[in-house]
């Protein structure tokens, strides 16, 4: 029986004992939870939500991450026919890839930022379903060069968010006016850098659970330091309840065309990007490439779970690369292990007190913890780009796409004379501009003879 339990860990449909499953599931939760709640905290700050709505957004993020993961692990459909879900060992969580665009939409002057994000998410979910059913045809538009350029731009565009958080949070009064709680205070920077040092140190010098949980441990150390410096506010915890299910359409849904286009593009890209995570999972832990039906079911499931998530108030989810890393490292692929991790996230999401505690994490701590994540996103993009030859054509595509994407959004009022819808799509998120330019240049610029041969 002991041998059977051990073997069951390395079988997707295996059923190992609880004493083996629990610590391995907890490891996945520890690796994912900070990444899941941080985008919700960032977006709620950009939207100016009150504490109750901020708690709700975090709750919904945890709940939809758990539900989306369960759908991928336990697909819906016929045994030998089409299934909604990949039936692969992956963890789904709220994705940082959407944060730049969501921040831009959340700050809309109408005050309908969150409903606009959720409406665009529903459209994006439909886009993902379409991509899933036509994956072979659409995949050609997003070779590694294009996907890498987009991922690299996402990483670059998130750096200002991390640095603003490290300084205490954009929009706060300056430290020289209000003291340690103000923007740019030495207390904020001390806590942020301490958090960053802990995360970086554990990533490079620790092993096992300490390395996998480096971000969580860094947040705990930073939180303790912030507590000692009087940077933590507990006022919102008392008002939070002990149990509450997400209320459908709590924020409402608004379908604003320019927001739908911006988010819809990202869903198309992330659908293609998911192929990389699915492939990394199967090649690293199962010694095979994913089957077409697994990719199709996984991407369609990704789209449907995001549509449901938007109705529940959850932000866009995607496959979590850090959990892919755990699966590849441990070779543990039992869906019972990952399913228990999903249930833990689900349970945490229906406990408002837990979500309220997460809202007390100072922004300087989150900044110190996430800047390394954003750096790794950018470097992942570079790795994808470098899988292709860096000839003049390809360097032009990458260079011009990133330059226009970052440049247009950083130059104040660069699109001031254009219609508002155009500013929303192209003037607020560098990712959309970089994506459009990269795809167009890849289609227009002449290929070398070798590239033409490879594309046939």
Write a three-state SS string for 188-253. Answer: HHHHHHHHHHHHHHHHHHCCCHHHHCHHHHHHHHHHHHHHHCCCCCCCCCCCCCCCCCCCCCCCCC
pLDDT tens by residue, 258-304: 889 889 988 987 887 777 678 777 877 787 878 888 889 999 999 99
Of 189-193, 376-380, 426-430, give the lowest mean pLDDT range.
426-430
- pLDDT category at 124 given cuts 50, 70, 90 is very high
In this structure, the strands spanning 92-94 and 317-319 are: antiparallel
Looking at residue 143, what DSSP letter applies?
Answer: -
Amino acid 279: pLDDT: 74
Q: Averaged over 430-439, what is the pLDDT? A: 84
Q: Averaged over 348-368, what is the pLDDT? A: 83
In 3D space, the residue among 316, 363, 376, 414 whose CA is nearest the CA of residue 158 turns out to be 376
Q: Averaged over 242-266, what is the pLDDT? A: 88
Q: Any residues with CB less than 8 A from the CB of 266 and at least 6 apart, and which?
A: 97, 98, 101, 124, 316, 431, 432, 435
Amino acid 22: pLDDT: 85
In this structure, the strands spanning 317-319 and 83-84 are: unpaired
E strands, 266-359, are 317-319
Amino acid 456: pLDDT: 55
Q: What is the rounded CA–CA span in Å between residue 353 and residue 421? A: 39
Q: What is the rounded CA–CA span in Å between residue 436 and residue 405? A: 9
Amino acid 212: pLDDT: 64
Average pLDDT, the chain: 84
pLDDT tens by residue, 382-399: 888 888 888 999 999 999
For residue 226, pLDDT over 50 is answered with: yes
Residues 108 and 355 sit within 8 Å (Cβ to Cβ): no
Could you give the angle at which helices 144-166 and 392-410 cross, rounded to 10 degrees? 30
Amino acid 209: pLDDT: 65
- pLDDT category at 418 given cuts 50, 70, 90 is confident
Helix/strand/coil percentages in the chain, nearest 5: 70, 5, 25
Residues 345 and 36 sit within 8 Å (Cβ to Cβ): yes
Could you give the angle at which helices 18-47 and 363-385 cross, rounded to 10 degrees? 100
Q: What is the rounded CA–CA span in Å between residue 59 and residue 349? A: 4
């Amino acid at each position: 029986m002991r041998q059977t339990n051990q073997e069951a860990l390395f079988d997707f449909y295996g059923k190992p004992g609880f004493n083996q499953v629990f610590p391995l599931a907890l490891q996945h939760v520890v690796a994912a939870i900070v990444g899941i709640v941080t985008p919700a905290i960032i977006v709620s700050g950009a939207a100016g939500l009150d504490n109750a709505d901020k708690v709700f957004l975090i709750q919904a993020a945890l709940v939809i991450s758990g539900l989306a993961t369960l759908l991928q692990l336990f697909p819906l459909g016929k045994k030998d026919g089409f299934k909604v879900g990949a039936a692969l060992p992956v963890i789904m969580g709220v994705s940082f890839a959407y944060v730049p665009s969501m921040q831009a939409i959340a700050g809309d002057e109408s005050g309908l930022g969150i409903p606009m994000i959720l409406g665009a998410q529903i459209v994006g979910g439909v886009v993902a379903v379409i991509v899933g059913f036509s994956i072979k045809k659409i995949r050609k538009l997003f070779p590694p060069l294009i996907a890498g350029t987009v991922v690299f731009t996402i990483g670059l565009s998130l750096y200002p968010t991390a640095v603003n958080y490290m300084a205490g949070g954009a929009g706060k009064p300056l430290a020289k006016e209000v003291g340690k709680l103000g923007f740019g205070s030495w207390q904020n920077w001390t806590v942020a850098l301490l958090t960053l040092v802990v995360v970086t140190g554990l990533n490079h010098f620790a092993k096992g659970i300490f390395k996998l949980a480096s971000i969580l441990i860094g947040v705990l150390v930073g939180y303790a330091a912030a507590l000692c410096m009087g940077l933590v506010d507990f006022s919102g915890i008392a008002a939070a309840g002990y149990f509450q299910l997400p209320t459908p359409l709590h924020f409402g849904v608004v379908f604003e065309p320019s927001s739908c286009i911006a988010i819809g593009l990202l869903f198309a890209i992330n659908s293609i990007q998911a192929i990389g995570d699915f492939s990394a999972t199967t090649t690293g832990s199962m010694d095979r490439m994913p089957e077409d039906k697994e990719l199709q079911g996984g991407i369609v499931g990704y789209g449907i779970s995001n549509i449901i998530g938007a109705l529940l108030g959850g932000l866009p989810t995607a496959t979590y690369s850090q959990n892919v890393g755990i699966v590849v490292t441990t070779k543990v692929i039992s869906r019972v292990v990952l399913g228990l991790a999903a249930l833990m996230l689900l349970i945490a999401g229906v406990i408002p007190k837990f979500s309220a505690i997460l809202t007390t994490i100072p922004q300087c701590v989150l900044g110190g913890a996430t800047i390394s994540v954003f750096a790794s996103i950018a470097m992942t993009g570079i790795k994808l780009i470098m899988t292709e030859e860096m000839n003049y054509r390809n360097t032009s595509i990458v260079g011009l796409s990133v330059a226009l994407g970052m440049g247009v959004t950083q130059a104040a009022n660069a699109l001031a004379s254009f219609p508002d819808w155009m500013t929303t799509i192209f003037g607020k998120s560098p990712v959309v501009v970089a994506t459009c330019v990269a795809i167009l240049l890849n289609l227009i610029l002449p290929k070398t003879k070798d590239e033409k041969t490879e594309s046939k």
